[in-house]
Chains A and B, each alone.
Chain A
Amino acid sequence: MIAFKLAYRNLVGAGLRTFLIVFVLSVSYVLIIFMNGLYRGWEREGKFEMIRWEVGQGQYWQENYDPYDPVTLTDAHAPLPASFERATENGSAAAILVTQATVYPEGRMLGIMLKGISAGQEVLAIPTDLLIPKDNEIPAVIGTRFAQNANLAEGDHILVRWRDVNGTFDATELTISGIFNSSVPAVDNSQIWISLDRLQQMTGMPGEATILVIGEDAVLPAEVAGWEFQGHDVLFAELDQMIKTKSIGGSVFYLILLALALLAVFDTQVLSIFRRQREIGTYISMGMTRRQVVGLFTVEGAMHAVLALLLGAIYGIPLLLYVGSKGLGMPEGTDSFGMAAAQRIMPYYSLALVIGTVVLVIIATTIVSYMPSRKIAKMNPTEAIRGKIQ
């Protein structure tokens, strides 16, 4: 307790030097919490949006389906097992049939994924109620990104060409019945959604599907022959990896700042021990052991982190809460990462993040304070009292 009291007095007495170090350390606290909060917020929102638009509560993939190998799509379809049929009928799952196709907007040729999804399903947020056929048209919905790329608008017609189950080319005209705005590029970029029944009919694959997306209420067996269950761990792997990469990249900023602050603490400690030898000797003459003096200097250095915490709290809490409530607009083109990214990210500051950051900074500061202080243990007090450099 005495060490804290004395350390506080020494730090306050050091004035501007203490303030500068404390300020830089406090910025480190705030930046670490802000940056990590931002990535956590992105992760949370990205996952929430992916659940809404793409992955649901998990997916069953037909065993030949490999999303990274379009060639497998030719064989990645199979009749829905009875349990899947029941789930799609009661609305707790949505079946999707995927095939490659080509569209010709304004005379251009674009390769796309033509996806059939149960019209009227409510597992995913894709507006499939717009896929219910009217007249003789084949309604299709697309996302805003693809609409922009292909220069398509609601009510437009577009020619689509595909191969059926036998490999025979066929073509027809689709009518854009709706354009949805999703933060998940995977359901938007180069994708056209039509009704499952219609695509099954077009491809000659009645009752078949490639993917079954399950909703919250779905009760399905863990293992289904010919189908493989993919949980969130697999479906979010790409997002997790991307956020991890971004997070590592982003951490360089605050780690440099933290390193600078720690360097300043280390430097101050070295300088203190060099300049305050007479004081060290006096402490020992008054009855402190060398270990206690080492402790005092270590606490003094570590207290920079405690004062920084207080200073950081003064301006950091209002700042972080403001950004947390208003969110942070993502720059144009963020969705070109190919990852789910909302237009505004709401940072998420968990208690673990705050405590973890505080502990990290305090421990790091304590270590860099202790390292130079060890020299005191080897000092000769009689020389120190006279201020002789040792």
Chain B
Amino acid sequence: MAIPAQAPPADEVVADPVPPPKRRRSILARIWGVYAIRRIVYALSIVWLVTTGTFFMIRAMPGDPVEVLAGKLSMSGLTMDVARVRAEQALAWDPNANIFVQYFEYMGNLLRGDFGMVIGLHNTSVLDHIMKYLPWTLFSVGLGVVIAILLGMGIGMIMAYYRNGVFDHIMSAVASTLSAVPNYLGAMALILIGSTWLGLFDFWDMRGRISIGVEPGFTAEFIGDALYHAILPLITYAFTITGGWMLVMKASTTEVLGEDYVTVARARGLKGRRIGMSYVGRNSILPLIPQVALAIGTLVGGAVIVEKILFYPGIGELLIGSITTRDYPVIQGVVLILTCAVIFTNLLVDLLNSWIDPRIRKEGTST
């Protein structure tokens, strides 16, 4: 540490606004003080709450897997009574046990990573089954969000820079309209106009997530095909969000452009690119980050609908199917995983926020 050539006179001492930490706290208190850990514990407790809630709620509703399975079995000539007995045996748990016993058994298994077995399918664990669908949903929704972010933020920034110009007015109207349209309806309109009426593309061909005969793997063929089938879902997800974000980003950027530090940056003779990215860009994005979390939450819900109408087999299809057959383990598994996905994303977004905005960092780690 350099020593100034001349010690500043006494009245020059400038008070340090951030006092150094005082004494050592207990281990537990210090662990709790770490913001990230607090958040994780909080998140886990929510997951537990949701799981428990779902468990009891679905059992409180009419219908149960035994009846459904028995109904199917009785099609092949068995009497209902026999069918019911067979159905009960087919389940991986004892449906006649006390409900709380069932609950603790389920939670116990859960902690070991066992989500149960799929009813009606031979020897398929719920987790494996979900994993056949989940990645596709994550892929399409995730990519859609990324595209929406890039487009929305990019165009929004341009709109702010060329405020009140032709581009701004046009895009404002476009954004307003886009953000109002429900995404799945917009997709249907797109298909009706583009494919059925104008014949610009063939919707029939684009259904499903992979064409028949294409082998999964890290080949260009597979990835290209997957993307081809994902185009419509991607557009649908990106659709509504981009509109809203264009406007928010424009507002945010406009505000930042009026800030003192941007004028000072210009006065300092900094290069345009640097100002655009480090000064304007980084600060404009800040208010949008919490919105990303919110958007993902609503998207995941809407994904169920979107997947159904676009015939894209993802977790939505799984959820609906399992509800119809009252496949309790699958329903619980899907709800649990979706909730975890949302929580995880929120956590990520929170961390991202505190990484980009140093002011939050300090608040978060304070005692």
| A joins B in a complex | no
Instruction: Tell me the B residues contacting A by CB distance below 8 Å.
Output: none
